[in-house]
Chain A
């Protein structure tokens, strides 16, 4: 009854600050994804020229959970659920349809109404009316995508979230580095810090209001915390040693940072309000890249104490340390899923650098990607998508969706040359 759709969308979106383009190109059909159709909304407002259906389709498709029917295949072009002929849609293999309309409004610039309809039961699953102010089209459309996604999968959506990343421009001998914040689809990129010296390691605070990052503005790596709404920033900790690899505690009160002390690099915890700094690791060799567990009870980090970089976990109360990775010759750069169960990392077993996933509950270890220089993986706040950076020799981008058995199906990429270290924001609180 369900058909497998082979989709060949090509969207080109533009990032303002870094001259980047976002290309989505599907190379394989998606088995087992939910077939859905988003009928172009009825526009009853003269000046309105955006497409809700297009943006919502893009979002749902990107998630990997949905096969979105192209509009030229729609058996009907209606805008209210009561006008749907359900059998036509069921015969076309579509179990969910979204209809909508953009209407004038007295209280706001316009209002958008949408309905998510189940063609099998022949009834509306949910529907909303949303007053909209000028210029918030993308935000509203992403919100609608979130509602649809969550209704149909039971998982919170991530379409209203943001990403931070570093971009750099080098012209002849001049360099400029920028810390950017953009929507998760790459739109609306805003530079939040620009420097003539290197920037690295952005990290979102748990409430999404701050970014910690490393800046070389004082000619050595140092960690700064920046308030995104105000633009104010402070060095944290406020010391002249080289500091790097900041990570936030789940309550937002502390950072774990790597500090160069004497002739060694160790991880410290730093309490932001009190400035109390406590040493956390005590080994010879490199200890860096701290990541707090979501329950706040342990810190995962990269150490080469065994001879090669591997991931370790140390509990804050007992001080007990356990090694987490044993496969391959390199495991670093880790992130942990919001439920604490999965760890994603940069991994090398002799075939190049790839992204790998460890299920800490079962011990199952799986390589997810097949590049040679993949790095910097970051979980989405719903734990269902992973963003990472890779080198590409050709210029085109591919969309990657990993199904639950680890097979890669789709790839999404920002095809600007100078983008690095992406980090996914948390949900807003």
Chain B
């Protein structure tokens, strides 16, 4: 995903127009007024690198988890309409499936990770991803899963699964992922 930074500048109307003067241009030694002296400007404070907890790069683990009792890989992602946190599409009843797993495994907890597509503001998209995950949490709580077993987190647009700038990618990114813990 490539982004460029742009600067726009906004000049105003030019200063009052010049008046033409007759001027004798014969070379004349003009006594120069002394120049003003600026105090020495120091080279500027260095901004040292803050200690990061751990800055070596790591391989990101793939967190997808199967949810069905049969053991086959199943979906763990719900998708959303643009700028919406409503669950409108759940043809395979992912919410029901994970709720069932949570009910039968009372030790299990689940993390719902909300995401948004890249369009518009990042902070707003962070909030949108959170609203999406929260909506799914509400649906699971309606199925009697205790709220303190469900954690909600948003990554906004920061973790896309598809990066072309078109509806195909955007649609894949507007999602909530279910991650059993």
Contacts and interface: CB of A to CB of B under 8 A. Distances in A.
Contact of B35 (A113, A230, A231): A113
Given A385-B10, A386-B10, A194 B36 contact: no
Contact of B54 (A196, A219, A228): A196
B52 A63 contact: no
B127 A288 contact: yes
Contact of B3 (A139, A190, A346, A418): A418
Contacts of B152: 242, 260
Given A86-B23, A245-B123, A387-B7, A221 B58 contact: no
A420 B41 CA distance: 31
Interface residues of B, number: 76
Interface string A43-79: 0000000000000000000111100000000000000
* Dominant SS among interface residues on chain B: loop
A133 B42 contact: yes
Contact of B37 (A80, A129, A154): A129
B35 A127 contact: yes
A120 interface: yes
A143 B154 contact: no
A139 B123 contact: no
A216 B35 contact: no
Interface string B43-58: 1111111111111111
Interface in A162-210: 163, 165, 173-176, 181, 190-196, 198, 200-201
Contacts, number: 310
B126 to A, nearest CB: 5
A268 B41 CA distance: 40
Contact of B10 (A134, A402, A414): A402
A193 B52 contact: yes
Interface centre among B9, B14, B51 (most CB of A within 10 A): B9
Contacts of B124: 286, 288-289, 302, 309, 332-333
17 contacts: A32-B11, A64-B9, A115-B35, A120-B21, A133-B40, A143-B38, A192-B48, A194-B52, A195-B55, A198-B155, A200-B156, A201-B122, A228-B45, A229-B47, A384-B10, A392-B4, A410-B9
Interface of A: 32-34, 62-65, 80-83, 85-87, 95, 108, 113, 115, 120-124, 126-136, 139-140, 143, 152-154, 163, 165, 173-176, 181, 190-196, 198, 200-201, 214, 216-217, 219-221, 226, 228-233, 242, 244-245, 258, 260, 263-265, 285-286, 288-289, 302, 304, 308-309, 330, 332-333, 346, 348, 353, 355, 368-369, 372-376, 384-393, 397-404, 408, 410-422
Interface of B: 1-15, 18-21, 23, 25, 27-30, 32-33, 35-38, 40-60, 83, 118-124, 126-128, 130-131, 134, 137-138, 152-156, 158-159, 165
Given A231-B47, A289-B121, 11 more contacts: A83-B27, A126-B36, A165-B5, A175-B60, A198-B159, A216-B155, A263-B138, A355-B8, A376-B121, A384-B10, A417-B3
